[in-house]
Amino acid sequence: MLKDFSLQAFFMGWLVAFVGFASSFAVILQGLNAVGATQQQAASGLMALSISMGICGIILSVWTKMPVSAAWSTPGAALLATAAVPEGGFATAVGAFLIAGVLLAFAGIWKPLGRAVQAIPAPLANAMLAGILIGLCFAPFKAVAFDPLLGLPILIAWLIGGRIHRFLAVPAALAAFFVVLLFAVDLPDNMRSELGEALVPAWIFIWPNFKLSALIGIAIPLFIVTMASQNIPGAAVLSVHGYKPQPGPLFAVSGVFSFLSAPFGGHAVNLAAITAAMCASEDAHPDPARRYWSAITAGAVYIFFGLLAGVATSFISLAPGILIEAVAGLALIGAFSASALAAFQQGETRQAAAVTFLTTASGISLLGISGAFWGLLAGIAVLALQRRTPAVKG
């Protein structure tokens, strides 16, 4: 293994970890807070996820000798951000996280479950994802309306950073957020002592609570979104770059790490998609057989960032909530536009996709079950009706 190490892959690994962490950790915190996590529980969840995905990526890359990058489920966190606090609080959400982890593992071990997810029409899966994301994507513009002096610098930094390089857009917005927080927000006098205390990582074990409504409203949509938007595309990215992994074992291992992180507040670990493309590209190394070191390095850096999760969470909690929502929304605009385009591209599934999107985006909650599940169910029903009933011409 050591003979395959290169500085080029090492530096790419650092870049991957920075982009992966900085571009979406705000979404993770927003999602965990939305389902009832306290600041300390959210910090524990962020730490558990970062360390779990770091170890997962290292194990998979060493095992396969491929640049298999692991990540947390950003679409899954966006799903949580649109949900309400379940009955029983965050403990019920943790129970749903555990079930989702089991489903992710079984999707890799038990092929019929994996095939069932792949059988969901792609336009409907993308429409559900777009419906989940759109609410958070409004946040940057709501932040400008809330206070232009606070919101505009973040939006402008995102635009300028994206013009320089698309991977710089969200880190630039995050940097602007910190500048705004330091110079335009009244910070408490004991801020330094609080941040000093947060340097010591705190694992918080949350005893899970299991409820049927959370199984249907959180666990199943979280499983579907993670498989359809992360695991399956992540395996496809490796194939596009010439690697031939066996997806099942990769899915199963990511599910195990999802399960292990859940009691500490983590919602889901999965294969990376965007950062996987960075690790698998020629930028990581001209020789495809040596690129896996970029994913190993990224995993090690993720673990390091995870140990600083308490500081990041404590510092961010000092800002108005709309500002962190703005950063999270900017991080998801690219995913929203891609999913919306894929959802409405095909004419024969456009109506069913529209129903899925609108039902999901409406934020309705029936029987304690979130709109994402009902949106997918409604879209499948419309599509089935269209395929069984011939169109009337006139």
The pLDDT score that the predictor gives to residue 197 is 62
Mean per-residue pLDDT over the chain, rounded:
84
**CA–CA distance from 103 to each of 57, 91, 117, 156, 207 (Å)?**
20, 19, 11, 41, 19
Give the H/E segment covering residue 224.
helix 220-226
What's the CA angle centered on 388, arms 125 and 350, to 5 degrees?
35
**Confidence check: pLDDT of 261 > 90:** yes
Virtual torsion, Cα 214, 216, 218, 220, nearest 10 deg:
140
Measured CA to CA, the distance from residue 358 to residue 22 in angstroms comes to 30
Query: What pLDDT score does 37 carry?
Result: 94
Residues 308-323: what's their mean pLDDT?
74
- Averaged over 34-40, what is the pLDDT? 91
pTM: 0.76
Residues 6+ apart with CB under 8 A from 228: 117, 120, 122, 125, 129
Report CA-CA distances (Å) from 283 to 15, 166, 241, 277, 310. Answer: 11, 16, 12, 10, 32
* Better-predicted residue by pLDDT, 277 or 36: 36
8-33 pLDDT, tens digit each: 888 888 878 877 787 778 889 889 99
Per-residue confidence at 50, pLDDT binned at 50, 70, 90?
very high
Report percent pLDDT > 70 for the chain: 90
Q: What is the pLDDT of residue 102?
A: 95
Mean pLDDT of 223-227: 89
Stretch 324-334: mean pLDDT: 78
Judged by average pLDDT, the poorest of 176-185, 189-198, 218-227 is: 189-198
* pLDDT tier at 99, thresholds 50, 70, 90: very high
Q: For 104-154, how does the pLDDT look when each residue is reduced to its tens digit (9 = 90+)?
A: 999 888 878 767 776 778 888 888 878 877 887 888 999 899 888 888 998
- Cα gap 139→319, rounded to integer Å: 14
Residue 229 has pLDDT above 90, yes or no: no
Min mean pLDDT across 122-136, 182-196, 322-336 is at 182-196
Instruction: Identify the pLDDT of residue 192.
Output: 63
Kindly indicate the confidence band of residue 367, based on its pLDDT and cuts at 50, 70 and 90. low
Domain ranges of the chain: 2-388
pLDDT of residue 265: 95
Highest-confidence segment of 64-78, 160-174, 335-349: 64-78
SS3 state at 72: strand
> At residue 356, does pLDDT exceed 70?
yes
Q: For residue 329, what pLDDT is reported?
A: 80
Mean pLDDT of 336-358: 89
Task: Give the pLDDT band of residue 57 (cuts 50, 70, 90).
Answer: very high
Q: In this model, does residue 392 exceed pLDDT 60?
A: no
Contact 202, 313 (CB under 8 A): no
Task: For residue 393, give the amino acid letter.
Answer: K
pLDDT value at residue 323: 81
Indicate whether 309 pLDDT > 60. yes
Model pLDDT, residue 103: 94
CA distance 175 to 193: 22
- Facing residues of 270 across strands? 71
Query: What pLDDT does residue 156 have?
Result: 93
CA distance 186 to 184: 7
Would you say residue 54 has pLDDT above 80?
Answer: yes
pLDDT tier at 266, thresholds 50, 70, 90:
very high
From CA 111, how far away is CA 248, in angstroms rounded?
8
Checking if the pLDDT of 264 tops 90, the result is: yes
Q: What b/e string do you get for 372-393 counting C-beta neighbours within 10 Å, with b at 16 or more?
A: bbbbbebbbebbeeeeeeeeee
Residues in the chain: 394
